[in-house]
Amino acid sequence: MAISRFALVFIGLGILPGLSLAAPSLQDATATFKKGNQAAALEQINGYLAGKPKDAQGRFLKGLILTELNRTTEAIETFSDLTDEFPELPEPYNNLAVLYANQGQFERAKNSLEMAIRTHPAYATAHENLGDIYAKMASMAYNKALQLDKSNASAQTKLSLVKELFGAPATQAVAKVKPATMKPATTASVTQPGTAIPTPPADKPKTPPSTTPAAAATEHEQVVQNWAAAWSKQDVDAYLSFYVNDYAPPGANHADWAELRKSRITKPSFIRVSISDVDIKMVNKKAVVSFKQRYESNMLNQTTSKTLVLQQIDGAWKIVEEIS
């Protein structure tokens, strides 16, 4: 299964907030790095750091050079030291995630990306990379479930969805940043090819995922909005009508699930459910609707990410899969 490429970001000269402008020797090392002569670049950056051992930009560049030289252990140590000494910078965390992911250490990669986002919530590259990590970890979990129980239809469906949604080669993501705003920059940055997480090959999807036309997207979103409205009204019959007649989550039957939902919907004195950030894709004639769900009641307040898989049955879109 091919998933989105990870970005190995490079922070250009003078872009790290609060750091001094680069010395000429750092500029020389940067130029050599850009030309692809990594052995010479490493010699130059080591010479620069001999006089400025605490310089963050120089050490960041050294981490990139070591990565290009496949000296992964040293690169990890370099970026890890940067996160310890400059915890406010998200880029070293992102690069650690790249290196960990290439080693198959997806939990460590996830933790590093979460730290990058915590230090800079607007860091889009880390958000995208974290999504890819979640997809990879989900794929591994579903594969394990199928190894234990080959008849697990739910795991097979979810694994197929992950493969469909992330199966197509993605455009390489490379972060280009400038001071404070973290907006894409066209100058003072060097882009390096993204490093893909190694994954076993998978069959090509029969139907590549695509964003639905506006009218269809509106229809699918309206179904989900109506589902949320029925939930908010605590109208159990209306809520259940949005699901296929035999719907049941893994490990349960329809009757038990419906009874449990009835209890959870009617028990609170009030419920408010709202959805936002809706994303809709078509996969094998099914609408995959992902969104953020805000649930409020007198018993619980929480915001979660959720995906509903809709299939058209007798002219109506019904929920056939619910993934939280």
Residue boundaries of the structural domains of the chain: 1-205, 210-323
Instruction: Give residue 154's pLDDT.
Output: 66
Assess contact for 118 and 102: CB atoms under 8 A.
Answer: no
The amino acid that residue 287 corresponds to is A
pLDDT class for 173, splitting at 50, 70, 90? very low
Q: What is the CATH number of domain 1-205?
A: 1.25.40.10
| pLDDT number for residue 8 | 47
DSSP structure string for 156-223:
HHHHHHHHHHH-SPPPPP-----TTT----SSS------BPPP----PPPSS--EEPPHHHHHHHHHH
According to the model, what pLDDT value does residue 217 have? 60
Give percent above pLDDT 70 in the chain: 70
pLDDT band at 7 (very low <50, low <70, confident <90, very high): very low
pTM of the predicted model over 0.85: no
Question: Between these two residues, 244 and 165, which has the higher pLDDT value?
Answer: 244
Q: What is the pLDDT of residues 291-314, one digit of tens each?
A: 999 999 988 888 888 889 999 999
pLDDT of residue 200: 38
The CATH number corresponding to 210-323 among 3.40.640.10, 2.60.120.260, 3.10.450.50, 3.20.20.450 equals 3.10.450.50
Residue with tokens 């949005």: 242
pLDDT digits (tens, 9 = 90+) for 95-109: 998 898 888 888 998
